[in-house]
Structure 1
Amino acid sequence: MACQQPFFSPRLPFTGCIQGALHEGKTITLTGRVLPGAQRFHVNLQCGSRGNPDVALHFNPRYDGSKDIVICNTMQHSKWGSEEREYPAHMTRGANFTLMFLVNRDSYSVIVNGAHFMEYLHRLSFSRVDTISVDGGVEIQSIAFSNPAVTSPPPQPGYPVQPHSSQRNRTRSRQSKSGPKNPPQWCNATQVGMVMLWILCSQVVPYKNIMAGGLYPGRNITVQGVVNHNADKFCVNLRFNSGVALHFNPRFNENIVVRNSLLKEQWGPEERTGGMPFYRGHSECVLVTIMCDTNCYRVMVNGVQMFSYNHLMTLSSVLV
């Protein structure tokens, strides 16, 4: 299944299509910031975009009462159902956030900043949901989509990550005929660091770019792509001027994900625990989100937190 390109920095009110509608295991990930003076905002997962469509999930943080609260509801045939209320909101005014919706058979799992927040039982069939809308006192940096991971195949021998020469030649031939194209919106330099992943619908790798403004607590880096069928390994590096602050390196022949830092031209001790959430040989998109906290990076794969890595360099020095 082809991956849907994320929406970046959409103007509000925003309404966008969910390609292929929702299905079990799909995730939708929003990153953004609640405005300092926000009274409320909402995210709707809805059935169409015209007229007054049914809303399968209305996710509505509110800050205009004595307590911050999240209200969830469903609208069917222009009538709202009974509200479900959750305290506290965990999405404070003026703060950055990552909000994920995971589609389960019986419910939506809502994950806020990497932690499970609530479950919302389906009142409408999620297969009808083909639209997402956002409005209110919030700035959205990105809205990304990920399809479910596929069960791991039996172990296979490792192969080089680079595409075959014939594939590279075909790619160059197509590019020379069509001329240069504008980069996809989700390869914005403020969103993606250095990527060594064969990415569908994206730039040719290896890919490198400057992250304007550097990193800071609350900033998120989102990488979405497809692992090459013959990949031995890939890596995502967050770099500073003389080294690597975070080296995130899934290795398929060892079935591990290695995390490390390169400081003063020397690699530190590797961190190897935490499992292997990536699989080669499948066409499913993978969504990797690196969340910058005050003390560590938190790495989420398809909406699930898998790893944390303590900072060895100041965030503001990481620019590539």
Structure 2
Amino acid sequence: MAFSGSQAPYLSPFAVNFQTGFSGNDIAFHFNPRFEDGGYVVCNTRQNGSWGPEERKMHMPLQKGMPFDLCFLVQSSDFKPMPFVTTIPGGLYPSKSITLSGTVLPSAQRFHINLCSGSHIAFHLNPRFDENAVVRNTQINNCWGSEERSLPRKMPFVRGQSFSVWILCDAHCLKVAVDGQHLFEYYHRLRNLPAINKLEVGGDIQLTHVQT
């Protein structure tokens, strides 16, 4: 589930609640950014009108007066077979998001996430542990284009560890975040976004959750 917005310049507090019913007595997940004391995020659960112990994340991801994107990924316990293929209902369009989570195999060499349009691969995301790189590309008529490899930080995927990937479609590009941190933008090379309607995942991972 994804939200976009802009933080007010005067830093008014806000919260995102996932609750059952309409009374507010039971809140399964309470997400509450607070800007005092340098900024932190409070997470909690409310049952029968009583709050549980707070979990405080001592990192403030929001900035004064700046727009933001929030993505909440609810993980399930079932495992998807590999390779995994599914449709993207309605194809891509601005504000459309796709989320995936899983675990990298301990001996992983590579895995890939493809967004496809017919026989073309509009977006190919290919973490390569043997090269310590995250390669992005597009394949049209079985021909690969120029690779993109630059990253603002180190390789975010780690052998033997879990991960989450969030792909957000914008009018001009795809914005990709890994484990809640923005990683890169990939400008569209295929412009017919609604025709990009298939997701393929394969390689050395165990996939646990997909939302298209």
Task: Please report the TM-score for the alignment, with normalisation by the length of structure 2.
Answer: 0.65
Give the CA deviation at 1:144: 1.3
**Matches for 1:79-228 after TM superposition, within 5 Å:** 104=57, 106-110=58-62, 143-144=72-73, 201-228=78-105
Conserved in 2, the CA contact under 8 Å of 1:260 and 1:271? Answer: yes
Does 2:212 correspond to 1:304? no
The higher relative CO (CA closer than 8 Å, separation ≥ 6) is in 2
Conserved in 1, the CA contact under 8 Å of 2:166 and 2:176? Answer: yes
Letter in 2 for 1:277: P
Structure holding more strand per residue:
2
Does 2:207 correspond to 1:278? no
Letter in 1 for 2:181: V
Give the CA deviation at 1:12: 6.7
Give the CA deviation at 1:51: 1.5
Q: 1:47 to 1:203 in 2, by over 3 A?
A: closer
Aligned residues: CA RMSD? 3.4
Q: Write the distance in 1 (CA, Å) between the matches of 2:94 and 2:20.
A: 24
Q: Write the distance in 1 (CA, Å) between the matches of 2:19 and 2:27.
A: 9
Q: 1:110 to 1:287 in 2, by over 3 A?
A: farther
Conserved in 2, the CA contact under 8 Å of 1:222 and 1:288? Answer: yes
Q: 1:223 to 1:319 in 2, by over 3 A?
A: same
Q: Which runs of 4+ in 1 moved over 6 A?
A: 9-12
Q: Write the distance in 2 (CA, Å) between the matches of 1:225 and 1:303.
A: 14
Structure holding more helix per residue:
1
Give the CA deviation at 1:305: 0.7
Q: Write the distance in 1 (CA, Å) between the matches of 2:53 and 2:134.
A: 39
Give the CA deviation at 1:116: 7.3
Q: Which residue of 2 aligns with 1:50?
A: 48
Q: Which residue of 1 aligns with 2:108?
A: 231
Unpaired runs of 5+ residues, structure 2, are 1-17, 32-41, 199-212
Q: Write the distance in 2 (CA, Å) between the matches of 1:219 and 1:243.
A: 20
Letter in 2 for 1:276: M
Q: 1:55 to 1:229 in 2, by over 3 A?
A: closer
Conserved in 2, the CA contact under 8 Å of 1:145 and 1:287? Answer: no
| Aligned residue-pair number | 163
Q: Write the distance in 2 (CA, Å) between the matches of 1:10 and 1:222.
A: 22
Unpaired runs of 5+ residues, structure 1, are 1-8, 23-43, 58-102, 118-139, 147-183, 185-199
2:137 pairs, out of 255, 260, 269, with 260
Q: Which residue of 2 aligns with 1:98?
A: none
Q: Write the distance in 2 (CA, Å) between the matches of 1:229 and 1:49.
A: 39
Conserved in 1, the CA contact under 8 Å of 2:28 and 2:45? Answer: no
1:242 pairs, out of 107, 111, 119, with 119
**Percent identity, aligned pairs only?**
31
Q: Write the distance in 1 (CA, Å) between the matches of 2:19 and 2:86.
A: 22
Q: 1:261 to 1:107 in 2, by over 3 A?
A: closer
